[in-house]
Amino acid sequence: MTQAKAGDKVQIHYTGTLQDGVTFDSSAGRDPLEFVIGSGQIIPGLDAAIPGMSVGEKKTVQIPCEEAYGAHNPEALQAVPRDNIPADIPLDPGTQLQMQTPQGQVVPVTVADVTETEVTLDANHPLAGKDLTFAVEVVAIKAA
């Protein structure tokens, strides 16, 4: 039976959960996730778990935050004067917004805190600092 290896294009079905069992993402009801092993298209810990698997094989892998979206970086928090944000923008904590850097790059941010004078925005990935669990099943392998 063919085993997946670096450079192969694979398709997997997956369910990602947090340590408390809450599902944060799943391919259920969608097309499988397709990527090339070792290409950096998915988080490193999941990428490293697929080589050696065969079509139809299932496994559950634990991925520490360092091999997922990294540790939560306090330097990615930025306080912005509330007056600098248009009044029609919702500012409830947890709201996801987009900012533009001076270079024109769009950066997703999450509203972390709101006071009368400031809005604290968090540019960390929402899953930064979290250990993840993935239940995966290989559904196709196309050898490199």
Give me the residue spans of the domains in the chain.
3-70+127-142, 74-122
pLDDT at 100: 85
Segment 12-23 mean pLDDT: 97
Q: What is the pLDDT of residues 58-85, one digit of tens each?
A: 999 999 999 999 999 999 999 999 999 9
pLDDT score of 131 more than 80:
yes
**pTM, to two decimals:** 0.83
pLDDT at 55: 97
Residue 14's pLDDT band, with cuts at 50, 70 and 90, is very high
Q: What is the pLDDT of residues 117-128, one digit of tens each?
A: 999 999 999 999
b/e per residue 1-27 (b: at least 16 CB within 10 A): eeebbeebebbbbbbbbeeeeeeeeeb
Would you say domain 3-70+127-142 falls under CATH 3.40.50.1970? no
pLDDT at 80: 93
pLDDT at 8: 97
Please give the CATH number for the structural domain made up of 74-122: 2.40.10.330
* 14/68 Cα distance (integer angstroms): 15
